[in-house]
Structure 1
């Protein structure tokens, strides 16, 4: 019973994590101001070469519809690693179908092309349900919690070596660590793995 519930749950993880992190951080990195330091300095300095405060970066499609937004209290670019660090990161992404995905963390770290995104401290990613169509079952709200999440957007992989909580509707799963590979459709939960499945609502 737990395995069946988990199989259903894992189908939505790529949409929950990859869409938000890939879109949001890509636009933030692309719209950040270009550093003014020389190439030699960029290779040796471990101090930020620019920063942004209380910022918000939004992207829109050709029709003017919001696709993604990244907000934070402070963002710093480190030239020696070409990474962007965001304090109090808040991200949102809207799919073409209107699916809303949100993410928050105390700190986020992304590389130059946003192929790797790390969320540190109180990392929460939620996927809100789409408005139900007539005759179609409504998908439940999903939530993913951990003190650390590491997403590889190009290879569609998400891992964490910290305890994780996965919530789908009223069902909940916990584990000490996890590694999810969407391309191979493999989810590995390690340590103490537990699942609570609530009975469906009678119609």
Structure 2
């Protein structure tokens, strides 16, 4: 009986020796997994990621200006309330008003009820009661006289670096005494100060008497 017991113990010991490498590998795997898990930041849920989009500062009656290569003001953005977000550097603007200053031409003003400026400061979205206004321009040595221009839409996108304002929403365009409407929006070129309308275009075109500036 004693010999048989010793044989059983020896068999168990040999089995443990054979299993020892597997046990060591399993232990190392568990330890490694634990260390990686401990040192990896927990992934935030979608709700938590959304909550990160919070303002880091708010300015009342804020203003943002940019200069051109000559040191003159290229554009200026004003807002009743300017809210900046840290996660993407974007800006929400309450009652935004933007003035564009093309060289040797009348400044153009665009405004709306609300606005959103992207983090790169390249795109300004103007939402609800959006307008583009250009005052009348007297004739110069290089430019003819131009009547006032007013374009209205529910939405305008200002491509700041391209000096373009565009929309795919219906537009009502007033130029002097003329009133024109388009169904599919249009594109305003700030350098040329001209607008191209898209879709179905209807309206009334009135001649302006020489020297008149409606």
Counterpart mapping for 1:139-150 below 5 A: 139-150=146-157
- Report the CA distance between 1:187 and its aligned residue: 4.3
Residue pair 2:180, 2:201 contacting (<8 A) in 1 also: yes
In structure 2, how many angstroms separate the alpha carbons of the residues matched to 1:135 and 1:79? Answer: 46
Structure 1 length as normaliser, TM-score? 0.62
In the alignment, is residue 48 of structure 1 matched against residue 73 of structure 2?
Answer: no
Shift of 1:98: 4.9
Answer yes or no: is the 8 Å Cα contact 1:73–1:88 preserved in 2. Answer: yes
TM-align CA RMSD: 3.6
Question: Which one scores higher on RCO, CA 8 angstroms, separation ≥ 6?
Answer: 1
1:189 and 2:198 equivalent? yes
Give the gaps of 5 or more residues in structure 2. Answer: 1-43
How far is the alpha carbon of 1:109 from its aligned partner? 0.8
Q: Distance in 2 between matches of 1:155 and 1:68?
A: 12
Q: Which has the higher helix share?
A: 2
Structure 1: runs of 5+ lacking an equivalent? 1-39
User: Displacement of 1:45 after TM fit?
Assistant: 0.9
Contact 2:178 2:204 in 1 (8 A): yes
- Higher-Rg structure is 2
Distance 2:143 2:85 in 1: 48
1:157-176 residue pairs with structure 2 within 5 A?
A: 158-176=165-183
Q: Are 1:180 and 2:193 matched, yes or no?
A: no
1:94-134, CA deviations, whole angstroms, 9 ceiling, x for partnerless residues?
33315221122111111122222210111111122333237
The normalised TM-score by structure 2 is: 0.60
